[in-house]
């Protein structure tokens, strides 16, 4: 017969577990404190659910970690798994990795907890590495690890690895899971492979708002805004209710396709038909939509009528970008000031103002902004572009001469420039941001990171395959025009993804319709 203390422990464990599974996390913690006050010792059944509830309530697991060490449960697989998962949920990834590395035995739950934690925290390269280690260790990934790995493949633009994860999902029988299907649609869309995204979407037996939204956003980011609107219409007809993120994708699509009237209508319908209050993301999309179309007064009026709490730095940066496009320095200065108030460490307003002044040849203002930036200790994110060839990622910066094939790359750049000049290309030196002679500005444009990456792609990527170039910042207008012509004269498809959207360039045209 079990002792009264033993009966008490079993009852508490059962109650804590039920509360944790039901999402009653605060009640689970209360029961745990009550149990400890009664002098009951924890065991391997107490700690996993309470670690889960504590993590979801953002309670640091340090005290629980110490408790399980004193109880001699650190080597218990299920307890250690729960500890890895708790640290990962709280983005304490170093601590999660320490626990992981000290475990004498691991199972699929252990690996999955670390992969999903890294993916959730945006540490995509590390998540992909852990996933590869998991497979190399002979552990078959479950549907959660597959979904997390696909998310990180999307985040790190690792298309070919994403294809291999897709193949693993098929082999393991995880493809029918909704979470895996959603992650596949998103991964293919975010890496510029819309045909594959659509194929997966069409094959899915069940869909939810996340599925539809992933395709809507995918079409929008790849310059196919009208298809986004068509997918949204199909979504509504299917009976699936759009959510907050769906409308972000929809308004983004309208913005990048110049569909001003459609954007206004969908923005109004959010609240009137679906009861979704516009948030900062929606306002930023609307400002971008109106700003691109030159309706700056309407954009400012929208902001003036919006609650101050909804106007975050992203909204004002959208207005600042529109001001840069339309060279409205006075309004740009107001928008930059608002960004500085909300986030004094953000480099974007300094860079945008500097670029606006540079294009206007207002060099004294450029110097003033850069001096202000230095005095405040703000540093600009350096621009870079990269291209993957045979599983190796090659990274380039402007004027980069560190690559082992530098001589070939620069000869190819010269060849590219000569061939597109013969087709009528004239450098747009307004995009050169230095106060120097025209020849120097033209050479600087020719050696932007994206052009070096394209030149390397022409040398290294088979003629039958698209050249896929990724850039961490927005592509400049001159590079966009030049690379579009390079795609035409070399008869290649060049897919360039910048910080804003994808540009699918082929036969002298771009998917963005030169409106980005």
* pLDDT at residue 430, rounded to an integer: 67
Question: Do 367 and 388 reside in the same domain of the chain?
Answer: no
pLDDT value at position 441? 58
For 415-430, the pLDDT digits (tens) are 999 999 999 998 876 6
How confident is the model at residue 325, as a pLDDT?
83
How far apart (Å, rounded) are the C-alpha atoms in residues 297 and 54? 49
Angle among Cα 337, 342, 347 to the nearest 5 degrees reads 70
DSSP string covering 460-477? HS-TTS-EEEEESSPPPH
**Gap between the Cα atoms of 23 and 27, Å rounded:** 9
Range(s) of the domain holding residue 493: 384-510
Q: Which of 337, 358, 380 is the last residue of a domain?
A: 380
Domain count for the chain, please give it. Answer: 2
Domain contains 76: no
Domain edge (last residue) among 353, 380, 407? 380
Residues 375 and 397 in one domain: no
Using 50, 70 and 90 to split pLDDT, how confident is the model at 439?
Answer: low
Side-chain half-sphere exposure of 231, counting CA atoms within 13 A? 28
Cβ contacts of 384 within 8 Å, gap of 6 or more: 395, 396, 397, 449, 471, 472
- Note whether 408 and 499 are same-domain residues: yes
Same domain, 365 and 399: no
Residue 380 gets which letter from DSSP?
P
Could you report the per-residue pLDDT of 236-246, keeping only the tens digit for each? 999 999 999 99
**What pLDDT, in 10s, does the model give residues 86-118?**
999 998 999 999 999 999 999 999 999 999 999
Question: Of 317, 351, 380, at which residue does a domain stop?
Answer: 380
Q: Of 234, 231, 267, whose CA–CA distance to 251 is shortest?
A: 267
With respect to residue 302, please indicate whether it lies within any of the assigned structural domains: yes
Q: Where are the alpha helices (DSSP H) in 394-476?
A: 406-422, 438-446, 449-460
Instruction: Look at residue 2 in the predicted model and tell me its pLDDT.
Output: 39
Other beta carbons within 10 angstroms of residue 215's beta carbon come to: 28
pLDDT at 435: 46
User: Is residue 222 within 8 Å of 512, Cβ to Cβ?
Assistant: no
- The CATH number for 319's domain is 1.25.40
Q: Average model confidence (pLDDT) for the chain?
A: 91
pLDDT in tens, 194-228: 999 999 999 999 999 999 999 999 999 998 999 99
């Amino acid at each position: 017969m079990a002792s009264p203390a033993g009966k008490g422990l079993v009852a508490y464990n059962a109650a804590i577990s039920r509360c944790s599974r039901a999402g009653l996390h605060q009640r689970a913690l209360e029961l745990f404190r009550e149990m400890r006050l009664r002098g009951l010792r924890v065991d391997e059944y107490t700690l996993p659910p309470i670690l889960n509830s504590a993590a979801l309530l953002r309670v640091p697991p340090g005290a629980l970690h110490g408790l399980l060490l004193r109880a001699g449960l650190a080597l218990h697989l299920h307890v250690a798994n729960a500890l890895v998962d708790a640290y990962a949920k709280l983005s304490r990834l170093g601590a999660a990795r320490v626990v992981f590395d000290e475990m004498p035995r691991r199972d699929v739950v252990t690996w999955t907890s670390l992969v999903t934690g890294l993916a959730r925290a945006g540490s995509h390269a590390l998540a992909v590495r852990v996933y590869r280690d998991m497979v190399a260790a002979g552990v078959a990934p479950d549907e959660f690890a597959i979904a997390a790995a696909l998310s990180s493949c999307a985040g790190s633009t690792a298309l070919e690895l994403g294809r291999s994860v897709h193949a693993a999902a098929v082999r393991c029988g995880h493809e029918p899971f909704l979470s895996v299907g959603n992650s596949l649609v998103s991964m293919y869309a975010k890496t510029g492979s819309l045909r594959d995204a659509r194929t997966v979407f069409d094959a899915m037996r069940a869909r939810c708002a996340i599925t539809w939204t992933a395709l809507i956003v995918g079409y929008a980011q790849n310059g196919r805004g009208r298809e986004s609107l068509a997918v949204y219409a199909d979504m509504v007809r299917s009976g699936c209710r759009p959510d907050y993120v769906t409308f972000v994708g929809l308004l983004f699509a309208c913005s990048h396709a110049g569909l001003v009237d459609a954007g206004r209508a969908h923005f109004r319908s959010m609240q009137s038909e679906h009861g979704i209050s516009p948030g900062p993301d929606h306002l930023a999309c609307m400002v971008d939509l109106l700003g691109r179309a030159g309706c700056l007064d309407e954009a400012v009026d929208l902001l003036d009528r919006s609650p101050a709490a909804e106007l975050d730095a992203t909204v004002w940066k959208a207005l600042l970008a529109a001001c840069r496009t339309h060279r409205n320095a006075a309004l740009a200065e107001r928008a930059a000031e608002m960004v500085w108030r909300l986030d004094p460490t953000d480099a974007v307003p300094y860079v945008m103002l500097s670029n606006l002044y540079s294009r206007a040849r207002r060099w004294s203002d450029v110097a003033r902004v850069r001096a202000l930036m230095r005095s405040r200790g703000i540093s600009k994110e350096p621009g870079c572009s990269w291209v993957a060839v045979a599983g190796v990622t090659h990274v380039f910066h402007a004027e980069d001469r560190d690559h082992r094939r530098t001589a070939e790359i620069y000869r190819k750049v010269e060849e590219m420039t000569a061939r597109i000049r013969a087709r009528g290309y004239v450098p747009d030196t307004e995009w050169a941001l230095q106060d120097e002679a025209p020849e120097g500005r033209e050479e600087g444009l020719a050696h932007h990171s994206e052009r070096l990456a394209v030149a390397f792609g022409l040398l290294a990527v088979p003629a039958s395959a698209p050249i896929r170039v990724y850039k961490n910042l927005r592509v400049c207008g001159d590079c966009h025009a030049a690379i579009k012509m390079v795609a035409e004269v070399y008869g290649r498809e060049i897919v360039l993804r910048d910080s804003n959207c994808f540009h699918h360039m082929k036969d002298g045209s771009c998917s963005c319709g030169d409106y980005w």
